[in-house]
Structures are given as C-alpha cells and as structure tokens.
C-alpha cells in the first residue's frame, strides 16, 4: 500500500474529502477534480460551496457516516476532523490511508514550477490577495488558494493553467511544513496559536523550518523591519523588504492622499515600480512590498505590480466597508491578535473620524488568556469598546475566562453576552462622524450586518 500521498494524486484515483465544504477543502476538491481524480466528500451542512461542488459533478453527502467513504482509495481530512470521526475511524479500520489537507496541497504544488507560499502571523490573506492581483495583471494564469474571499476571484481560490501556484500558508499545527515552496514569504513572526506552540521561540523555530524548505535556486523573502522574523531566519540567505530598515527591496518617497499611500519600490538601489494603494496603513505598505518582492524574484514586469496593486481594494473581512448607520460608517476586520488590533487602530486613527467604536469578539480562550495584558492595552486605544463573549472555535472553556474579565480592565467598556446585545449597544451609541469597527475572527461581523438591516 503506497504511503506517500503523491502516489495517489493521479487521474482516475478515487478520493473522499472529509469536511469538503471548508474554506481550503472546497478548492482542493476542485483542483483534484480538474486533475482527473474521482472526487466525493461529506460536510456537516448544506452551503453555497456544496451546491457549487455538486454542479461540477462532485458528490457531497451531508453528515459524516462510515458508508460515505465506500470506494475511496484515500481520504483527505480538514484539521477540524479528528480520529473519532466515523469516516476517519472507518478508513483506519479498512486500512485506507488518511492524509491531512496540507499534505494534499503540498503534493499538488510539486507539479508547479513556481510555488509562492506566503506565511506570517499577520497579513497572510491580504498579501496573498495582493500577489494574486499582480500575477493576474501579468496574465500568468495562476492557481490560487487564499484563506478569505477576494472580490477579483469572487471566492478564495482559482484553478489556473499557468506554471505558478500561490498559497496562503498557515503555521498552526505546523501545517505549512507539508509545503514545497520555491519562494517562501515571511511577513512577520509573533507569539500566537499558543494552544499549539509553547512560546515565541517555538513559533520562530517553526518559521525557520518553513524557510528551510526552499530548495537551492529558490528564494526566502523576509520582512527586515520585523525583529522576530530576522532572529528566526538568522544566517539563511534572504531577499529582504522593509520600510524603515536597510533591505534589498524598499519603499521610498512615501506620500499619503486621503490616508492612502503611494510610494516607489526600489530594488538594490534601482527603481522597480511606482505603487498607488487603495488600502491604508503602514502594514499594507509592507504587505504590498512583500507581494512586489515576490513578483520581482519571479521575474514579473513592473507594470504588473503597478496595475495589480492599484486594483486591489482589500480582501473580505480585512477593513471591509459594510455600510452606514445613523451617520456612522461600519467596517469589519478579522483582527484577532493584539498585533493586528494595533495596526487596525493605528490606521483607523489616521482617517479623521470623530470617535472609534470597537466591537471586539476575542477568538479562543487560550489566546485571550495568553495575551490578556496586550489585548487590554490595545483595546484601550479605541474611544469606546464593546466586548462580545469569547468565540470558542475549536476549544472548550476549561480556563474559566470571559470577555467580562477584559471589560473590567478597560475604562468605559461595555460587555455583551450575546451578539444581538452587541447590535443593540452599537445602535444606541452610533452618531454621525463615528467609525464603528466589528473586529474578530469569529462571527462578530453579523452584529454589524444586523445593525445595517
């Protein structure tokens, strides 16, 4: 019985995807289907994604049952599916190999000349989206996998016919260590996912291993402005980008118009491209530089960088404009780490609103506890804070922590046990000239949407 997933990725081979409706499982299903495999799968609920997969001729069962895997030669599972799942248990009992989603993407990317893998504690989705815009502008016909929705693609992925694959690469559970990058981008490194990693050093060690996956002739693109990144990658050959530090690729002559930056991309002292962004904040200058640096090392023309970045208006849930209520503008953002909150509030403060009202939903109990003082410090920077209860995601609250604990440390903060209470609180607070932010990686965005309805 072959044990390497590459032996199974061939036309006609039958694969079952457990959790096929997921954000990076559904594109995987499409890519495997396009490669000629016989794909079927299961998911816990009906969704537009499931409808789309069925329209392509992919069978999807609702609910996880042992009989769903009949005829499969191998299984691929999402990280949320564990060994006690009936389909996984049935596969193990029958001796059918089970692989992780990241292993499947790793095997697929080996079929491309260029595998651009974008990693970092923050900014992955935005930078992967920016790079996609650049490669699309270059008419490179890339295959793309993003952990969010990109308006240009009307989804989080595309299956292209070119020689480049662009992937958002996540460090959680070391999943990006299954990848085969020819260009690895490291945007920044911070202590996060502390339910899996021990501490910052452990996270840095994981990113170093990721960078070391790049073969001779490939490139590691790294943020020279980020101390933790440079520590993690010390001694490795790097192509660096920066705003403030010396680097191979720099942003120079930065100027702002209505909070939006324009700058020159200068590589080894020579002008490469002039960029005008439709998204604000210094963090987005760095994200754009990372995308430009990757384009440069892969030989793309300056016009593709200029055109691609000029047409990028943001990815879904990344400072996404939702509408206006009672004269207050409502934006939604996925920030769920103190570092991301810091960048979001910095940018928001530069936009000239009368008050910034931040409705924040912490994401996971372990993260809230591990980074509690930092969350308090960042949230205090908003004019008003509304706290939704912690979004559990994959966890049980064995710690006994609540958003109430955060509210107690932040002057004037309002705690809401439910999202309808968040909506009602925002309704009462909203005034003309306010910026209302719904923030977090859970379902806090629904509170802002309910206000608009």
Claim to verify: residue 427 and residue 390 sit in the same structural domain: yes
The 3-state secondary structure of the chain reads CCCCHHHCCCCCCEEEEECCCCCCHHHHHHHHHHCCCEEEEEECCCCHHHHHHHHCCCEEEECCCHHHHCCCCEEEECCCCCCCCHHHHHHHHHCCCEEEHHHHHHHHHCCCCEEEEEECCCCHHHHHHHHHHHHHHCCCCCEEEEEEEECCCCEEEECCCCCEEEEECCCHHHHHHHCCCCEEEECCCCCCCCCCCCCHHHHHHHHHHHHCCCCCCCEEEEECCCHHHHHHCCCCCCEEEECCCCCCEEEEEEEEECCEEEEEEEECCEEEEEEECCCCCHHHHHHHHHHHHHHHHCCCCHHHHHHHHHCCCCCCCCCEEEEEECCEEEEEECCCCHHHHHHHHHHHHCCCCCEEEEEECCECHHHHHHCHHHHHHHHCCCCEEEEECCECCCCCCCCCCCHHHHHHHCCCCEEECCHHHHHHHHHHHCCCCEEEEEECCCCCHHHHHHHHC
The predicted pLDDT at position 233 comes to 98
Q: Which domain holds residue 88?
A: 12-101
Claim to verify: residue 258 and residue 379 sit in the same structural domain: no
Claim to verify: residue 122 and residue 179 sit in the same structural domain: yes
pLDDT tens per residue, range 224-274: 999 999 999 999 999 999 999 999 999 999 999 888 899 999 999 999 999
Claim to verify: residue 140 and residue 80 sit in the same structural domain: no
The predicted pLDDT at position 234 comes to 98
Claim to verify: residue 69 and residue 175 sit in the same structural domain: no
Among 251, 276, 310, the domain boundary falls at 310
Among 251, 284, 310, the domain boundary falls at 310
Number of folded domains that form the chain: 3
Low-confidence spans in the chain with pLDDT less than 50: none
Residues with a catalytic annotation lie at: 124-125, 168
Judge whether 7 lies within some domain: no
Judge whether 3 lies within some domain: no
CATH at residue 392: 3.90.190.20
CATH at residue 38: 3.40.50.720
The predicted pLDDT at position 2 comes to 54
Claim to verify: residue 330 and residue 371 sit in the same structural domain: yes
Claim to verify: residue 278 and residue 417 sit in the same structural domain: no
Among 310, 328, 349, the domain boundary falls at 310
Judge whether 6 lies within some domain: no
The predicted pLDDT at position 108 comes to 93
Judge whether 1 lies within some domain: no
Judge whether 5 lies within some domain: no
């Amino acid at each position: 019985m072959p044990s390497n997933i590459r032996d199974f990725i061939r036309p006609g081979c039958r694969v079952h995807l457990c959790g096929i409706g997921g954000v990076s499982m559904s594109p995987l299903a499409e890519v495997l289907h396009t490669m000629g495999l016989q794909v079927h799968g299961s998911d816990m609920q009906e969704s537009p994604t499931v409808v789309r997969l069925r329209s392509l001729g992919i069978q999807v069962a609702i609910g996880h049952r042992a009989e769903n895997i009949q005829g499969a030669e191998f299984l691929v599972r999402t990280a949320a599916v564990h060994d006690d799942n009936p389909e996984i248990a049935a596969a193990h009992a029958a001796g059918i190999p089970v692989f992780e989603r990241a292993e499947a993407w790793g095997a697929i990317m080996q079929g491309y000349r260029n595998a651009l893998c974008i990693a970092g504690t923050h900014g992955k989705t935005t930078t992967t989206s920016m790079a996609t815009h650049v490669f699309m502008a270059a008419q490179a016909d890339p295959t793309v996998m993003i952990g969010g929705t990109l308006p240009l693609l009307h989804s989080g992925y595309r299956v292209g016919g070119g020689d480049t694959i662009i992937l958002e690469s996540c460090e959680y559970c070391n999943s990006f260590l299954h990848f085969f990058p020819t260009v690895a981008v490291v945007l920044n490194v911070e202590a996060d996912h502390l339910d899996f990693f021990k501490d910052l050093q452990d996270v840095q060690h994981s990113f170093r291993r990721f960078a070391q996956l790049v073969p001779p002739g490939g490139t590691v693109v790294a943020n020279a402005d980020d101390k933790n990144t440079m520590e993690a990658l010390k001694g490795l050959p790097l192509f660096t980008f920066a705003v403030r530090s010396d680097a191979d690729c720099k942003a120079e002559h930065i100027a702002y118009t209505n909070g939006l930056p324009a700058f020159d991309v200068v590589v080894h002292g020579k002008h490469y491209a002039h960029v005008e962004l439709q998204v604000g904040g210094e963090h987005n200058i760095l994200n754009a530089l990372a995308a430009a640096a990757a384009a440069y090392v892969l030989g793309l023309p300056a016009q593709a960088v200029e055109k691609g970045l000029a047409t990028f208006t943001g990815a879904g849930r990344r400072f996404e404009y939702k509408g206006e209520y009672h004269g207050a503008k409502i934006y939604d953002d996925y920030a769920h780490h103190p570092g991301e909150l810091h960048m979001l509030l910095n940018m928001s403060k530069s936009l000239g609103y009368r008050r910034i009202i931040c409705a924040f939903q912490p994401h996971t109990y372990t993260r809230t506890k591990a980074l509690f003082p930092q969350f308090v410090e960042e949230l205090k920077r908003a004019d008003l804070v509304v706290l939704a209860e912690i979004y559990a995601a994959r966890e049980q609250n064995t710690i006994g922590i609540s958003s109430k604990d955060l509210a107690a440390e932040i002057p004037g903060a309002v705690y809401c046990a439910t999202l309808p209470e968040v909506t009602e609180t925002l309704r009462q607070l909203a005034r003309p000239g306010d910026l209302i932010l719904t923030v977090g990686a859970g379902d806090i965005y629904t509170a802002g949407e309910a206000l608009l309805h």
